[in-house]
């Protein structure tokens, strides 16, 4: 199977869907003539023309609004946010409109649009450009939210999102964009492979056991899935067998997979890149404790980022989000360690 | 010779400058009599529908709750503009929360509109939307929206889809003067003009956003300048005169089909009721006088003006007039009865329609 | 002690703070000449003049931005959102600016502003005007979020919010605004009383035991606190003694009070008005299970609203948010009931 | 007689219309020589500072990460305008992310600015903000912001506070041409004019927002019309000529003190570097030619133009010129050395400054 970088997997998925379906188009800042801020859409303008690769002013409300309206009219817009943080000026369009139109009009319309862009922390971009905003979307009924961790899912979930008839937010892991396949393969073989053949796409709403284990279940998504795998490698060196689950989709959320795992391991660590308070991991932890109450041998451990706006200085920034060592500590805590 | 009746605006409504200055001097007799009779009839039906809504709301027994925004006084806009569109063949339109009339003007079933307002299972949005969220997909009505200015960027997308497919369709977007102070409005206008999409932006300038007059909320009450700053074509039209509205807009819409571009219409108009049902006589008195309201009702009512012109032109007889009014009252009552006879949405409906 | 309606308590607090401190002013749509959409600021324009009671265009970004800048310059703006839902067009100003300015400039500035407005469900306002958006604020470090349930707290937390040197969002319970004092007193005596004397204000970040009990702890905030009290009354009729905790503030969050209660009751029900997925109750439930793991005799029960945009029809709407009967059922479930 | 040197704009930058047409025909000799020498010196210092930042970023060993947006080419704007303000006595200003120069022009310690860019504990924002979030409260600099257009509504509030207190102060707000396409920009302009706050809106029109030219993003490239649609006073100024910038703005600022109102300045300018450090020669080639950049550097460089005029007017000698340049290089190096010698923020700092 071919090995890809995350960013290339995104490009591949977008291109394939544009080839397949004329109603798919991409719109955003610098997606065309500039070849994409991070070059995901390099070559697209030349290939598909300005009707399908649409450069815009710095007008996120307009971009999302255009996406919503054109989706209602039967197109399949992919709205690129240069960074997902920049979706916030358009948050009203997303939450009050994209998410609600189907319901509030009794099902008369559908809004098959994609909102996507790089997200997350760790690139010294400081407070306004280093956020993991998943909750702001995953709390909203009517949206779907996917969080690809690997090149395979960057590909498979993007394709699935484009074909989905609902508004889907793809929260892309900026830190993964340009990771070399070899580096990923070193963490776990297969991570950079895209399943081939017969038009594979991922199923939105399915979590996945990425590594089997029996002592403790590590649950992550996006970059934190990779950190969980690294942590599992470290734990293995100490004779602890960790199962790693990649959530892949936050809305809908597949809890059956983690709950089944915990039936086996009786211990869980939930990892999230940024703010713990009212964060994604809270829901996972709560559901495990509520629904797996009698399976748990120890309190669920949450490993989350510092509850502060992201600092710029590398020295502070690296303290502000979880590393594999933090996950190892938490895992050991579930096993009675300190 | 019968002329389109227009009256001087009451001085108290500073923004009602009575159209663009190039007052239409229309010879009614030369116009399509049947069409205008239908428009007249539609306006009367809408008026009676709205007045019955008001009544039903106050009765409190029909299921109407929340907000209720009525269109009385502004009928010529919805009727004249939607009447210029081909909603059965791909023209699209979208509105704000004062939206019953858009559906009725396009030909939606009054019963389904009323049932929606009353939250019934038979409502056009299955009772899930209510008064602010009427829609009718089969007639190209992409719905009424409750967030001021929220529908305007969506209209950009509807019009974009037309352009994308190379169709010779148009999309109309109705909104109030208050919308112009939302940032998204500006992003939309700029992009619409940049991409030359066939969007017809219809400003219903009724002089007030809730209790705030244009003068107290727009640094430059000359609204044209905001639109012209995007190099967009702009027309001011007397929204109280169905003949002027329709003739001008029909010509514009046709020209948009062959020369796709966004066009902005400022319709001078007035609302008779409070902003919504919560805006009572008492609260209205903080921002406008009864005299002002009466002045508009007396001198610039779209139904009266149409009636007068059609009768002068001998297109409408007194008998017809009475029949139409009677039927309109009956139709509104029938709509309410349809709603009253309809069941509430079933509990299962709570969880449907969130996702496709 | 004087008894007040919730809306009157808000007006009283705002007026007292404006009297006390010249730097306090109120800005928003229809707050002045129109006398307030819900008349909270009735008489204010006449008393304080247009410099301190500022009518605005329908421009939420402008309103919040004006608030932020003037707060940085030393004023104490109170930004009224006609409904809190309308803060969403200005969400970027709130999350990316108000919340982050202090941190990202290393403490050089403070932003002592208040954002307040009626919120919540239950008035047939349908999808776009019936939301309980707490998470969207409480997930953001740098903001404080208070959720008064009673007239006393509507008063005390508003005053505290105005005096706080940080941006505070007051999520007001629209359904409580015009509840008659007698109706509240019938649920529990004292609910409509505002503590008198010596310039009382509430402490932001303190939960409160509103009713003592020993069998199960009911945890709510805003309207759901009242529902919990009603549920406690029903449970009492069946011989079940419920303790009721009003969270009052979501950020900072006082977990010590609920955890102490659960040490005693060993059972908890957490109630939230709207969306459960990644909702406020998830954090509370997770913390109880994580930190009170060995105290709990039964899984925490969450009682939340339906995960759908709010439907308009009364018949559907009332199914979409919790009622005291639902809380009773959940409480019994913790006690081994079905 | 020495005249303020101005040159015709290179034809390739369509928007560089070389000021308002009423080209200043300033007699340099009649101006305050000391002041302009200081401005010249400041511009040179800023240039060297920025160039060293660029160098240090590429070295990769000084702690600079993330984005880095440099001001080279635009120096006359920050220097001339902030130089017209009394920042020690209550005048305020606020900027976007291209913000080092604002602080330096106001007199912030270059070492503290550089340390911030490098994420050090001694940085003006304690290393928490970085290049995009420089500030200096004691000099009225309310900071640089990373969200396009995000600082503009905040400026409204800063200016509001001045009006609220009845002070005769002003607040300047710097932003780029890209900001004008953000909705909040419009809400702000309307409210600023409605409330007549003393806000000086400074558009740094460098022709591009990242890789997008004005022509490709503004439906109407005549930006004046957008501002005039709010009935706001508007001036176009050649941002490359420190004499024109300062003389005109100083007069405007003084008039704002006695006649408080918002004023909008369109400064025609150009950036020499890529948008940010990630905008390389390769990516720049997608939107502008090397010739265009060279043209500006050669014919409209603010430092060269000032130098020429000051030397012609015999205010600046060749010797002085050399001294200033040498000192500027040294000052920039000293700033970097200060930063290099500074510690990282202590881990405790992670959790401070979230709340008061
Ligand atoms: C973003 C937002 N802010 C405030 C409101 C509350 N609101 C609803 S309608 C309205 C007035 C709108 O007036 P206008 O746009 O002139 O339309 P009209 O009601 O006059 O038809 C206001 C303030 C809202 N729905 N959305
Ligand atoms: C809301 C938002 N959208 C997009 C961006 C990404 N971005 C940062 S700067 C920039 C270009 C801004 O150009 P301009 O305003 O002209 O300022 P200049 O860089 O030319 O000084 C863009 C698109 C952002 N920071 N914020
Ligand atoms: Mg209006
Ligand atoms: Mg620019």
Query: Would the pLDDT of C207 be above 80?
Result: yes
Say yes or no for a CB contact (<8 Å) between D229 and B225: yes
* CB contacts, 8 Å: A107 with chain B: 126, 352-353
Share above pLDDT 90 across residues of chain D, in percent, rounded to a whole number: 92
Q: Where does the pLDDT of residue C1 fall: very low under 50, low under 70, confident under 90, or very high at 90 and above?
A: low
Cα of B269 from ligand 3 centre, angstroms: 9
Using DSSP, state whether D149 is helix, strand or coil.
Answer: coil
Does any ligand 1 atom lie closer than 6 A to the CB of residue C58?
A: yes
Say yes or no for a CB contact (<8 Å) between A62 and B184: yes
Using DSSP, state whether A96 is helix, strand or coil.
Answer: helix
Residue A1 contacts by C-beta under 8 Å, 6 or more apart in sequence?
A: A193, A194, A195, A196
Considering only alpha carbons, which residue of chain D is nearest residue B188?
D183
Instruction: Please tell me the distance from the alpha carbon of residue B88 to that of residue B105, in angstroms, as a whole number.
Output: 13
Say yes or no for a CB contact (<8 Å) between B126 and A107: yes
Say yes or no for a CB contact (<8 Å) between C58 and B287: no
Instruction: Please tell me the distance from the alpha carbon of residue B242 to that of residue B267, in angstroms, as a whole number.
Output: 11
Q: Where does the pLDDT of residue A209 fall: very low under 50, low under 70, confident under 90, or very high at 90 and above?
A: very high
Query: Would the pLDDT of D23 be above 60?
Result: no
Contact A43, A14 (CB under 8 A): no
The arrangement of strands across the sheet holding C268-275 comes to C208-211, C242-246, C216-220, C268-275, C301-305
Give A120-179 pLDDT, tens digit per residue.
999 999 999 999 999 999 999 999 999 999 999 999 999 999 999 999 999 999 999 999
Say yes or no for a CB contact (<8 Å) between A62 and B153: yes
Residue of A129, A172, A266, A317 marked active site: A129
Residue of A17, A29, A60, A193 marked active site: A60
The reply to whether D349 falls in a domain is no
Query: Would the pLDDT of B17 be above 70?
Result: no
Does any ligand 1 atom lie closer than 6 A to the CB of residue B47?
A: no
How many C-beta atoms lie closer than 10 Å to residue D291's C-beta? 10
Same domain for A145 and A94, yes or no, is: yes
Count the domains in chain A: 2
Instruction: Please tell me the distance from the alpha carbon of residue B320 to that of residue B315, in angstroms, as a whole number.
Output: 10
Ligand 1: nearest atom to the Cα of B175: 15
Say yes or no for a CB contact (<8 Å) between D133 and A320: no
Residue of A49, A50, A62, A75 to mutate when probing chain B, most B C-beta within 10 A: A62
Does any ligand 1 atom lie closer than 6 A to the CB of residue B100?
A: no
Query: Any chain B CB within 8 A of the CB of C241?
Result: no
Contact C248, C219 (CB under 8 A): no
Query: Any chain B CB within 8 A of the CB of A66?
Result: yes
pLDDT (0 to 100) of residue B181: 98
Share above pLDDT 90 across residues of chain A, in percent, rounded to a whole number: 96
The reply to whether C49 falls in a domain is yes
Cα of A56 from ligand 1 centre, angstroms: 28
Both tokens assigned to A291: 């629904």
Question: What is the per-residue burial (b if ≥16 Cβ within 10 Å, else e) of A75-110?
Answer: bbbbbbbbbbbbbbbbbbbbbbbbbbbbbbbbbbbb
Instruction: Concatenate the DSSP letters of all residues of C127-147 into one string.
Output: GGG----HHHHHTSBTBEEE-
The reply to whether B198 falls in a domain is yes
Same domain for A37 and A86, yes or no, is: yes
CA-based nearest distance C192→chain A, Å:
30
The reply to whether B4 falls in a domain is no
Does any ligand 1 atom lie closer than 6 A to the CB of residue B202?
A: no
Last residue within a domain, chosen from A138, A167, A194: A194
pLDDT (0 to 100) of residue D13: 40
Same domain for A33 and A107, yes or no, is: yes
Distances (CA, A) of B245 to A91, B19, B235, B263, B310: 36, 10, 11, 14, 15
Count the domains in chain B: 1
Instruction: Concatenate the DSSP letters of all residues of A237-300 into one string.
Output: HTT--EEEEE--EEETT--HHHHHHHHHH--EEEEEEEE-TT-HHHHHHHHHHHHSTTT-SS--
Say yes or no for a CB contact (<8 Å) between C165 and D162: no
Cα of A233 from ligand 4 centre, angstroms: 48
Q: Where does the pLDDT of residue B241 fall: very low under 50, low under 70, confident under 90, or very high at 90 and above?
A: very high
Tell me if residue A317 is catalytic: no
The reply to whether A202 falls in a domain is no
Q: Where does the pLDDT of residue C195 fall: very low under 50, low under 70, confident under 90, or very high at 90 and above?
A: confident
Same domain for C266 and C130, yes or no, is: no
The reply to whether A201 falls in a domain is no
Residues in A 72-91 with any Cβ partner in D closer than 8 A: 85-86, 88-89
pLDDT (0 to 100) of residue D15: 35
Tell me if residue C60 is catalytic: yes
Say yes or no for a CB contact (<8 Å) between C139 and A279: yes
Query: Any chain A CB within 8 A of the CB of D193?
Result: no
Q: Rounded to the nearest 5°, which phi and psi values hold at D159?
A: -70, -35
Closest CA to D174 of D194, D199, D198, D137: D199
Among A58, A123, A129, select the one facing D181 at the smallest CB separation.
A58
**Environment of ion ligand 4 (residues, CB < 5 A):** D 176-177, 206, 209
Neighbouring chains to B with at least 3 Cβ pairs closer than 8 Å: A, C, D
CATH of the domain at D111: 3.40.50.970
Instruction: Please tell me the distance from the alpha carbon of residue A30 to that of residue A38, in angstroms, as a whole number.
Output: 9
Residue of C17, C29, C60, C80 marked active site: C60
Sort strands A208-211 and A242-246 into parallel, antiparallel or unpaired: antiparallel
Rounded mean pLDDT of B1-26? 44
Sort strands C242-246 and C216-220 into parallel, antiparallel or unpaired: parallel
CATH of the domain at C131: 3.40.50.970
Residue B338 contacts by C-beta under 8 Å, 6 or more apart in sequence?
A: B111, B112, B114, B115, B122
Using DSSP, state whether B331 is helix, strand or coil.
Answer: helix
Instruction: Please tell me the distance from the alpha carbon of residue A166 to that of residue B325, in angstroms, as a whole number.
Output: 45
Among D129, D178, D216, select the one facing A55 at the smallest CB separation.
D216
Both tokens assigned to C320: 């979409």
CA-based nearest distance C102→chain A, Å:
9
Residue B125 contacts by C-beta under 8 Å, 6 or more apart in sequence?
A: A104, A105, A106, A108, B116, B133, B134, B135, C312
Cα of B94 from ligand 1 centre, angstroms: 16
Closest CA to A289 of C283, D29, D110: C283
Cα C269–Cα C272–Cα C278 angle in degrees, nearest 5:
100
Contact C214, C265 (CB under 8 A): yes
The reply to whether C202 falls in a domain is no
Give B58-95 pLDDT, tens digit per residue.
999 999 999 999 999 999 999 999 999 999 999 999 99
Same domain for A238 and A110, yes or no, is: no
Q: Rounded to the nearest 5°, which phi and psi values hold at B138?
A: -65, -20
pLDDT (0 to 100) of residue A199: 84
The reply to whether B242 falls in a domain is yes
Look at ligand 2, atom 22, and give the residue with the nearest C-alpha.
D210
Domain residues for A285? 208-334
Instruction: Please tell me the distance from the alpha carbon of residue D273 to that of residue D73, in angstroms, as a whole number.
Output: 8
Q: Rounded to the nearest 5°, which phi and psi values hold at B90?
A: 105, -10
Domain residues for B73? 28-338
pLDDT (0 to 100) of residue A195: 86
Q: Where does the pLDDT of residue B1 fall: very low under 50, low under 70, confident under 90, or very high at 90 and above?
A: very low
Closest CA to D292 of D13, D8, D85, D5: D13
Does any ligand 1 atom lie closer than 6 A to the CB of residue B148?
A: yes
pLDDT (0 to 100) of residue D11: 37
Which residue out of C58, C60, C79 has the highest number of ligand 1 atoms within 8 Å of its CB and is therefore the one to mutate?
Answer: C58
Query: Would the pLDDT of D271 be above 90?
Result: yes
How many C-beta atoms lie closer than 10 Å to residue C67's C-beta? 33
Closest CA to B170 of B77, B239, B262, B107: B262
Same domain for A49 and A189, yes or no, is: yes
Asked whether the ipTM of the predicted complex exceeds the cut of 0.85, the reply is yes
Mean pLDDT of chain B: 94
The reply to whether C203 falls in a domain is no
CATH of the domain at A306: 3.40.50.920
Considering only alpha carbons, which residue of chain A is nearest residue B183?
A61
Give D83-128 pLDDT, tens digit per residue.
999 999 999 999 999 999 999 999 999 999 999 999 999 999 999 9
Query: Residue with structure tokens 């310039």?
Result: C199
The reply to whether C199 falls in a domain is no
Rounded mean pLDDT of A186-196? 91
The reply to whether A200 falls in a domain is no
Give A264-292 pLDDT, tens digit per residue.
999 999 999 999 999 999 999 999 999 99
Same domain for A49 and A100, yes or no, is: yes
Q: Where does the pLDDT of residue C197 fall: very low under 50, low under 70, confident under 90, or very high at 90 and above?
A: confident
Query: Would the pLDDT of B169 be above 60?
Result: yes
Same domain for C83 and C185, yes or no, is: yes
Query: Any chain A CB within 8 A of the CB of D195?
Result: no
Closest CA to B266 of B16, B8, B7: B16
Closest CA to C62 of D63, B184, D79: B184
Rounded mean pLDDT of B187-199? 98
Instruction: Please tell me the distance from the alpha carbon of residue B267 to that of residue B256, in angstroms, as a whole number.
Output: 18
Start-end of H helices in chain A: 6-20, 44-48, 60-72, 91-92, 101-104, 134-138, 151-163, 181-187, 223-237, 256-265, 280-291, 314-317, 324-334
CA-based nearest distance B191→chain D, Å:
7
Closest CA to B142 of B158, B156, B128, B122: B158
* CB contacts, 8 Å: D222 with chain B: 231
Residue D77 contacts by C-beta under 8 Å, 6 or more apart in sequence?
A: D174, D202, D204, D239, D245, D267, D269
Say yes or no for a CB contact (<8 Å) between D130 and A126: yes
Residues in chain D: 356
Does any ligand 1 atom lie closer than 6 A to the CB of residue B288?
A: no
Give D132-161 pLDDT, tens digit per residue.
999 999 999 999 999 999 999 999 999 999
- 10 Å CB burial of residue B314 (0-12, 13-18, 19+) is exposed
Last residue within a domain, chosen from A128, A163, A194: A194
Instruction: Please tell me the distance from the alpha carbon of residue D22 to that of residue C179, in angstroms, as a whole number.
Output: 65
- 10 Å CB burial of residue D110 (0-12, 13-18, 19+) is buried
Which residue out of D210, D214, D274, D276 has the highest number of ligand 2 atoms within 8 Å of its CB and is therefore the one to mutate?
Answer: D210
Rounded mean pLDDT of B258-285? 97
Residue A208 has, within 13 A of its CA and on its CB side, a CA count of: 18
The reply to whether C200 falls in a domain is no
Last residue within a domain, chosen from A139, A159, A194: A194
Query: What does the CA dihedral A94, A97, A102, A104 come to, rounded to 10 degrees?
Result: 140
Question: What is the per-residue burial (b if ≥16 Cβ within 10 Å, else e) of D303-325?
Answer: bebbbebbebbebbeeeeeeebb
Both tokens assigned to D309: 């005029």
Contact D179, D206 (CB under 8 A): no
Residue C268 has, within 13 A of its CA and on its CB side, a CA count of: 32
Sort strands D199-205 and D208-209 into parallel, antiparallel or unpaired: unpaired
Q: Rounded to the nearest 5°, which phi and psi values hold at B117?
A: -60, -30
Ligand 2: nearest atom to the Cα of D206: 20
* CB contacts, 8 Å: D125 with chain C: 104-106, 108
Share above pLDDT 70 across residues of chain B, in percent, rounded to a whole number: 93
Rounded mean pLDDT of B302-317? 97
pLDDT (0 to 100) of residue A1: 66
Give C292-321 pLDDT, tens digit per residue.
999 999 999 999 999 999 999 999 999 999
- 10 Å CB burial of residue D270 (0-12, 13-18, 19+) is buried
Chain centroid, CA A70 distance in Å: 25
Contact C196, C2 (CB under 8 A): yes
Instruction: Please tell me the distance from the alpha carbon of residue A154 to that of residue A147, in angstroms, as a whole number.
Output: 8
Contact A134, A280 (CB under 8 A): yes
Instruction: Concatenate the DSSP letters of all residues of D233-262 into one string.
Output: EEEEEETT-HHHHHHHHHHHHHHHHHS---
Instruction: Please tell me the distance from the alpha carbon of residue B125 to that of residue C312, in angstroms, as a whole number.
Output: 10
Residue D196 contacts by C-beta under 8 Å, 6 or more apart in sequence?
A: D163, D260, D261, D262
């Amino acid at each position: 199977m071919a090995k890809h970088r995350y960013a290339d997997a995104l490009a591949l998925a977008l291109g394939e869907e544009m080839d397949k379906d004329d109603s798919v188009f991409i719109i955003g800042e610098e997606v065309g003539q500039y070849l994409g801020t991070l070059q995901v859409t390099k070559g697209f303008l030349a290939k598909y023309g300005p009707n399908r690769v649409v450069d815009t002013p710095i007008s996120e409300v307009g971009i999302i609004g255009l996406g919503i309206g054109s989706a209602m009219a039967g197109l399949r817009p992919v709205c690129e946010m240069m960074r997902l943080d920049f979706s916030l000026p358009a948050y009203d369009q997303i939450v009050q409109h994209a998410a609600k139109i189907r319901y509030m009009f009794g099902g008369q319309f559908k809004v098959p649009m994609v909102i996507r862009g790089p997200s997350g922390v760790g690139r010294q971009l400081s407070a306004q450009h280093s956020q993991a905003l998943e909750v702001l979307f995953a709390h909203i009924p009517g949206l779907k939210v996917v969080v690809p961790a690997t090149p395979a899912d960057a590909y498979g979930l993007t394709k699935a999102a484009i074909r989905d008839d609902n508004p889907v937010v793809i929260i892309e892991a900026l830190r993964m964009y340009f990771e070399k396949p070899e580096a990923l393969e070193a963490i776990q073989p297969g991570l950079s492979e895209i399943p081939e053949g017969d038009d594979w796409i991922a199923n939105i709403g399915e979590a996945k056991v990425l590594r089997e284990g029996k002592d403790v279940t590590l649950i992550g998504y996006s970059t934190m899935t990779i950190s969980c795998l690294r942590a599992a490698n470290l734990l293995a060196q100490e004779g602890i067998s960790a199962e790693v689950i990649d959530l892949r989709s936050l809305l809908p959320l597949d809890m059956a997979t983690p709950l089944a795992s915990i039936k086996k391991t009786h211990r869980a660590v939930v990892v999230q890149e940024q703010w713990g308070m009212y964060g994604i991991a809270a829901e996972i932890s709560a559901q495990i404790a509520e629904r797996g109450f009698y399976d748990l041998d120890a309190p669920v451990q949450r490993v989350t980022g510092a509850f502060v706006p992201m600092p710029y200085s590398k020295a502070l920034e690296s303290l502000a989000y979880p590393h594999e060592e933090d996950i190892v500590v938490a895992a050991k805590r579930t096993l009675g360690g300190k | 010779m019968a002329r389109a009746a227009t009256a001087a605006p009451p001085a108290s409504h500073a923004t009602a400058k009575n159209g663009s200055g190039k007052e239409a001097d229309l010879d009614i007799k030369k116009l399509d009599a049947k069409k205008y009779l239908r428009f007249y009839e539609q306006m009367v039906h809408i008026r009676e529908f709205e007045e019955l809504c008001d009544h039903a709301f106050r009765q409190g027994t029909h299921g109407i709750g929340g907000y209720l925004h009525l269109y009385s006084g502004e009928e010529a806009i919805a009727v004249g503009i939607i009447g210029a569109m081909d909603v059965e063949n791909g023209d699209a339109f979208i509105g704000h929360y004062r939206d019953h009339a858009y559906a009725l003007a396009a030909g939606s079933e009054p019963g389904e509109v009323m049932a929606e307002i009353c939250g019934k299972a038979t409502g056009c949005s299955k009772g899930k939307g209510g008064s602010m969220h009427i829609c009718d997909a089969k007639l190209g009505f992409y719905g009424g929206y409750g967030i001021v200015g929220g529908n305007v960027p969506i209209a950009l997308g509807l019009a974009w889809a037309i352009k994308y497919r190379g169709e010779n369709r148009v999309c109309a977007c109705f909104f109030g003067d208050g919308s112009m102070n939302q940032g998204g409005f500006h992003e939309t206008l700029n992009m619409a003009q940049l991409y030359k999409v066939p969007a017809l932006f219809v400003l219903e300038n009724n002089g007030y956003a809730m209790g705030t007059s244009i003068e107290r909320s727009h640094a430059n009450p000359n609204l044209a300048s905001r639109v012209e700053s995007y190099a967009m074509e702009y027309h001011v039209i007397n929204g109280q005169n169905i003949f002027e509205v329709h003739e001008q807009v029909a010509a514009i819409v046709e020209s948009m089909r062959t020369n796709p571009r966004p066009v902005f219409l400022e319709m001078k108009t007035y609302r008779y009721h409070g902003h919504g049902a919560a805006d009572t006589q008492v609260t209205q008195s903080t921002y406008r006088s009864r005299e002002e309201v009466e002045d508009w009702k007396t001198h610039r009512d779209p139904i009266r003006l149409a009636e007068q012109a059609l009768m002068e032109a001998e297109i409408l007889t007194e008998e017809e007039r009475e029949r139409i009014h009677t039927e309109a009252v009956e139709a509104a009552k029938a709509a309410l009865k349809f709603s009253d006879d309809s069941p509430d949405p079933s509990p299962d409906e709570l969880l449907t329609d969130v996702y496709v």
